[in-house]
Amino acid sequence: MPTKPLIITCAIVGAELTREIYPHLPLTPAELATAAVEAVAAGASIIHLHVRDEQGKPTQRLEVFQEVTEQIRRRCDCILQYSTGGAVGTPLAERHQSLCLRPEMATLSMGSMNFGPEIYENSERTIETIAAAIRTENIMPELEIFDFGMLDTTERLLAKGTIPPRFHINFVLGVPGGMAATPQNLFLLTQSLKPGQTWTVSAIGRHQLPLTTLAMTMGGHIRLGLEDNIYYRKGQLALSNAQLIQRSVRIACELERPVATVAEARAMLGLA
């Protein structure tokens, strides 16, 4: 059993959910900050951050990211990881404009894909543009891998110098149009990594609990939260992001896998 501390990322809101689907969805800057504080208190060390506008719709506006960031930083210490994916269809110029605020981490999706009925566009030009902004601001990228071919793209762009040499990987499994959330696929993906490469798994919906538990036993890290899954168990909505984290912390304790503090997570990722 791996004994290195477990880094927990919390994706507190995402870009697709509405309050019609999940009534307790945090939307305002104050609500997002409260959700982040509760997640960190429950055991998360990284907050994966999307933000919403005054109407509760997904936005990449700089001033909204700034307000939410300031509120979170006033109330707790955590690693902020900005999403550069935005929502499907967000213009490229908007997707990376918030990076001038210099979060410690930012996402970098490694390819285009069907995203349910829509197309999530990440052409090589898009990847290069966002990667350039990440390098300029000296931010650590988290590479979002939705399918096996995106690992091949990663190697090719690393060789070109497009991607910074230091990065974290997030395997996003179970998105309709992407790689299925199965143990076999997680094993396949991780076997292709270089020794010492840090990685997280995000699994969608009902796959979140079994895949993240498996990742704990494999020495990987986990992402939880309402962006990926709104249910605590079949037919029962989760009360909050924190409730989902608390359950996985209990499981990690039973597996004798210590949960990383924010300081430990920074050290493990090379952010300290």
Given a contact cutoff of 8 angstroms between Cβ atoms, the answer to whether 177 and 147 are in contact is no
Per-residue pLDDT of 174-212, as tens digits, reads 999 999 999 999 999 999 999 999 999 999 999 999 999
Task: For residue 18, tell me if it sits in a domain.
Answer: yes
Number of domains in the chain: 1
Task: For residue 28, tell me if it sits in a domain.
Answer: yes
Given a contact cutoff of 8 angstroms between Cβ atoms, the answer to whether 49 and 73 are in contact is no
> What is the CB-side half-sphere exposure of residue 22 using CA atoms within 13 A?
27
Q: Which residue range forms the structural domain that includes residue 125?
A: 8-269
Task: For residue 1, tell me if it sits in a domain.
Answer: no
Which residue spans within 66-220 are E strands per DSSP?
Answer: 79-82, 105-109, 113-115, 118-120, 140-145, 168-173, 199-203
Task: For residue 162, tell me if it sits in a domain.
Answer: yes
CATH number of the domain to which 212 belongs: 3.20.20.70
Per-residue pLDDT of 30-81, as tens digits, reads 999 999 999 999 999 999 999 999 999 999 999 999 999 999 999 999 999 9
CA–CA distance, 249 with 174 (Å, rounded to integer): 22
Task: For residue 131, tell me if it sits in a domain.
Answer: yes
Per-residue pLDDT of 87-135, as tens digits, reads 888 999 999 999 999 999 999 999 999 987 899 999 999 999 999 999 9
pLDDT for the residue numbered 1: 55
Q: What is the pTM of this model?
A: 0.97
Task: For residue 134, tell me if it sits in a domain.
Answer: yes
Task: For residue 62, tell me if it sits in a domain.
Answer: yes
Task: For residue 192, tell me if it sits in a domain.
Answer: yes
